[in-house]
């Protein structure tokens, strides 16, 4: 069955520390993977997608098909990174996007 797993509900790090938000997926085909972010009292917005292979706000994510993972990383966390992060998977026509349960990142001063 198709599934997106974010094993950590809450991740707390100090400012300046590296951060990694984990995402594992289960999908038999060729997935499209995304990270969305939701800052306090704001709407969800796209942070990045694997196909673009870009860095947004210092975050990167690499698709590892062998480990079926798409972890989100940032070398030096900032307080403004505190937010809810969702990993999502989509597929070909007819496949509905699946979201993980989300990880709340809290960056402490």
Partner 1 sequence: IAGITQAPTSQILAAGRRMTLRCTQDMRHNAMYWYRQDLGLGLRLIHYSNTAGTTGKGEVPDGYSVSRANTDDFPLTLASAVPSQTSVYFCASSDTEREAQYFGPGTRLTVL
Binding site for partner 1 (CB under 8 A): 6, 9, 32, 34, 36, 42-46, 49, 86, 90-97, 99-102
Closest distance between partner 1 and the C-beta of residue 42, in Å? Answer: 8
Q: Which of 32, 73, 28, 66 is nearest to 49 (CA)?
A: 32
Cβ–Cβ < 8 Å for 19, 74? yes
Closest distance between partner 1 and the C-beta of residue 109, in Å? Answer: 25
Distance CA(109)–CA(94), nearest Å, equals 44
Residue 28 sits at φ, ψ, to 5 deg, of -85, -20
Considering beta carbons, is residue 19 or 100 the nearer one to partner 1?
100
Considering beta carbons, is residue 33 or 107 the nearer one to partner 1?
33
Closest distance between partner 1 and the C-beta of residue 101, in Å? Answer: 4
* Tokens standing for residue 27: 């999908």
Considering beta carbons, is residue 7 or 16 the nearer one to partner 1?
7
């Amino acid at each position: 069955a198709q599934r997106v797993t974010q094993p950590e509900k809450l991740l707390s790090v100090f400012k300046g520390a590296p951060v990694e938000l984990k995402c594992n997926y289960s999908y038999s085909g060729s997935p499209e993977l995304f990270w969305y972010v939701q800052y306090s009292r704001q709407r969800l917005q796209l942070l990045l997608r694997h196909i673009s292979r870009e860095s947004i706000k210092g975050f990167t994510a690499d698709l590892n098909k062998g480990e079926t993972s798409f972890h989100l990383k940032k070398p030096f966390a900032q307080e403004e990174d505190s937010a809810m992060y969702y990993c999502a998977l989509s597929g070909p026509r007819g496949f509905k996007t699946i979201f993980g349960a989300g990880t709340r990142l809290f960056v402490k001063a």
